[in-house]
């Protein structure tokens, strides 16, 4: 009898809560969820929906499994924990707290969040699934600049997802390979992303989305994830377009094969005094994280032969991946925060010799620097030219081997920041504009910033809707064509621009087709 009373009281409390928050109840294949209305936009928000079972215990380092079903209505009013990582301080270089993970962390983290302007089955709105960055070691779906309310208000269903990070997401090990029916290990974070996309395909219609118009969109590590998903046969049919911000290029993230990944995994186990996989699975999650302020081993996607059958660059060049419309782009100053500053002519020459080898003398003639001011200017200019040519070469290879169109962009508008002007158009700085979330940051915004934000978010809206960012009232954005080297500038000026002047462009074209570029910077 007491149990019955408790259930009845619980149902009454749930009903009162649903009425109090004006919650919309939506059915998923695992149970009902109740969201909340965003007060500023009237968009319905559903937070912390499980798309997979908690990957803990024996499920650590296994492909994700479906979540358990639940009875009644699940409250979807709070973000879940972020996946295991070291939480960064409130500012890390150019990244203030608005760009960083702010929630608690846990292995129980495989949840997604949805913003929708119309949670009804007949809405058939385009769907955008955003994959966060963070070097595959940090980040989360609840980062403030990723709030999807204003982007959803434009007529999109916006989804953000968590996925396993670091050693939890990308450990390869011979024992893991042996227990896998696919003779594979590593890439669990990518499998999480694929599982989230399966969930979206199966459930998004009830949230107002069109499961036949899903766009994957990622930034930094999320952009590399987009490249891996485009490369993966397991992701075929789960999305119809893809956008990668910072970004996809002719030389991308170095991708190891399975054997090299397993070797790293064995070394990791030995460093943690674990003789077997069972012992590793028994360890506390926090004991597997790198020490505070320590780099630790890098765990990133690998070519495992199952999730990723070959390097994304090879598959792109050979037309052996998912042929969907694509956009890739870079921030103008992506490279600024990833390299030690070069300030003197002597350091500039050393940098040139290290990066460009036998082509260093030609590089120095094209980008001459005789004093500190010239060094700063030439470092910035050469990095920008290199990035534009690198992504054009990636895109032109894709055009030759695919039917779907490809476009590139170069984002030049720097967030106004009088106190920190040195960061410029920094890595991740485009996201408040694309998400229409300038309000999240306390910056002296100008009218041009709001124009840029409205324009680029409209490009994203049109791309998600029809695979083409062009729309009424927007500056024309041409697709990449072989023999027409250019990119689309997104900033105070909107329109196509050259990659570089002809002499410098020719240098970079030769560089990327030479052995000197085998260790080219990512940005």
**Span 40-68, pLDDT tens digits:** 999 999 999 999 999 999 999 999 999 99
pLDDT value of residue 296:
56
pLDDT value of residue 297:
59
Cα of 408 vs its chain's centroid, Å: 16
Q: Which residue has the tokens 């260790």?
A: 519
Candidate from 247-256, 322-331, 349-358, 502-511 with smallest mean pLDDT: 247-256
Q: Which residue has the tokens 């694929």?
A: 194
For the stretch 264-281, pLDDT in tens is 999 999 999 999 999 999
What's the chain's length in residues? 523
Contacts of 340 (CB under 8 A, 6+ apart): none
pLDDT value of residue 210:
98
The pLDDT of residue 436 is above 50: yes
Average pLDDT, the chain: 94
The pLDDT of residue 4 is above 60: no
For the stretch 394-417, pLDDT in tens is 999 999 999 999 999 999 999 999
For the stretch 202-233, pLDDT in tens is 999 999 999 999 999 999 999 999 999 999 99
State how far the alpha carbon of 364 is from the alpha carbons of 334, 435, 478, in Å. 22, 39, 33
Per-residue pLDDT, averaged over 434-439, amounts to 98
For the stretch 148-172, pLDDT in tens is 999 999 999 999 999 999 999 999 9
Per-residue pLDDT, averaged over 420-430, amounts to 96
DSSP 361-394: HHHHHHS---SHHHHHHHHHHHHHHHHHHHHHHH
Pair 403, 323: CB distance under 8 Å:
yes
pLDDT value of residue 322:
97
Which CATH fold topology does 2-519 show? Rossmann fold (3.40.50)
Question: How many other CB atoms sit within 10 Å of the CB of residue 323?
Answer: 14
CA dihedral sign of residues 450, 453, 458, 461: negative
The pLDDT of residue 21 is above 90: no
The domain ranges of the chain are: 2-519
The proportion of the chain whose per-residue pLDDT surpasses 90, expressed as a percent, equals 89
Give the Cα separation of 193 and 127 in Å (integer).
15
Contacts of 117 (CB under 8 A, 6+ apart): 42, 43, 44, 123, 125, 152, 153, 155, 156, 157, 208
Q: Which two tokens stand for residue 360?
A: 């260093």
For the stretch 347-361, pLDDT in tens is 999 999 999 999 999
- 386 pLDDT band, cuts 50/70/90, is very high
For the stretch 491-508, pLDDT in tens is 999 999 999 999 999 999
- 1 pLDDT band, cuts 50/70/90, is very low
Per-residue pLDDT, averaged over 68-82, amounts to 97
pLDDT value of residue 102:
85
Per-residue pLDDT, averaged over 85-90, amounts to 89
State how far the alpha carbon of 401 is from the alpha carbons of 233, 318, 322, 395, in Å. 17, 6, 11, 10
Nearest to 292 by CA among 76, 85, 39, 481: 85
The pLDDT of residue 452 is above 90: yes
pLDDT value of residue 294:
63
Nearest to 330 by CA among 519, 470, 490, 134: 490
Per-residue pLDDT, averaged over 90-105, amounts to 92
Per-residue pLDDT, averaged over 171-187, amounts to 97
Count of helices and strands (H, E) across the chain: 15, 16
pLDDT value of residue 293:
67
């Amino acid at each position: 009898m007491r149990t019955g009373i408790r259930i009845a009281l619980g149902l009454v409390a749930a009903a009162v809560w649903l009425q109090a928050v004006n919650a919309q109840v939506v059915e998923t294949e695992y149970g009902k969820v109740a969201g909340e209305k965003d007060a500023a936009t009237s968009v319905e928000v559903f937070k912390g929906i499980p798309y997979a079972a908690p990957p803990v215990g024996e499920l650590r380092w296994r492909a994700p499994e479906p979540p358990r079903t639940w009875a009644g209505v699940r409250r979807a009013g709070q973000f879940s924990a972020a996946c295991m990582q070291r939480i960064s301080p409130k500012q890390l270089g150019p990244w203030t707290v608005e760009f960083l993970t702010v929630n608690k962390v846990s292995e129980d983290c495989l949840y997604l969040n949805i913003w929708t302007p119309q949670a009804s089955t007949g809405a058939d709105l385009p769907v955008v699934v955003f994959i966060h960055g963070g070097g595959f070691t940090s980040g989360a779906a609840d980062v403030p600049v990723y709030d999807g309310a204003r982007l959803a208000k434009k007529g999109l269903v916006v989804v953000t997802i968590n996925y396993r990070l670091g050693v939890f997401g990308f450990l390869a090990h011979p024992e893991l390979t042996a227990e896998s029916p696919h003779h594979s290990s590593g890439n669990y974070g990518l499998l999480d992303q694929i599982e989230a996309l399966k969930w979206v395909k199966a459930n998004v219609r009830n949230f107002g989305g069109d499961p036949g118009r899903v766009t994957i969109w990622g930034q930094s590590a999320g952009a590399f994830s987009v490249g891996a998903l485009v490369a993966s046969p397991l992701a075929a049919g789960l999305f119809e377009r893809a956008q990668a911000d910072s970004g996809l290029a002719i030389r991308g993230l170095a991708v190891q094969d399975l054997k090299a990944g397993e070797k790293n995994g064995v070394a990791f186990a030995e460093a943690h005094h674990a003789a077997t996989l069972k012992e590793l699975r028994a360890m506390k999650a926090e004991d597997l994280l790198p020490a505070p302020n320590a780099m630790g081993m890098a765990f990133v996607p690998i070519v495992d032969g199952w999730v990723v059958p070959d390097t994304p660059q090879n598959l792109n060049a050979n037309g052996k991946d998912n042929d969907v419309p694509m956009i890739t782009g870079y921030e103008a100053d992506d490279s600024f925060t990833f390299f030690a500053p070069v300030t003197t002519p002597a350091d500039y020459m050393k940098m040139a010799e290290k990066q460009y080898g036998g082509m260093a003398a030609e590089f120095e003639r094209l980008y001459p620097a005789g004093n500190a001011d010239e060094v700063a200017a030439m470092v910035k200019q050469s990095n920008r030219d290199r990035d534009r040519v690198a992504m054009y070469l990636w895109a032109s290879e894709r055009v030759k081997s695919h039917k779907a169109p490809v476009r590139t962009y170069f984002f030049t508008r720097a967030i106004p920041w009088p106190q920190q002007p040195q960061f410029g158009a920094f890595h991740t700085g485009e996201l408040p504009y694309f998400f229409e979330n300038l309000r999240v940051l306390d910056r002296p915004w100008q009218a041009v910033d709001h124009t840029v934000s409205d324009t680029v978010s409209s490009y994203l809206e049109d791309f998600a809707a029809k695979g083409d960012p062009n729309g009424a009232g927007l500056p024309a954005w041409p697709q990449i064509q072989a023999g027409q080297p250019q990119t689309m500038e997104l900033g105070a000026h909107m329109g196509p621009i050259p990659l570089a002047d002809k002499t410098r462009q020719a240098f970079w074209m030769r560089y990327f087709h030479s052995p000197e570029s085998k260790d080219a910077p990512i940005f």
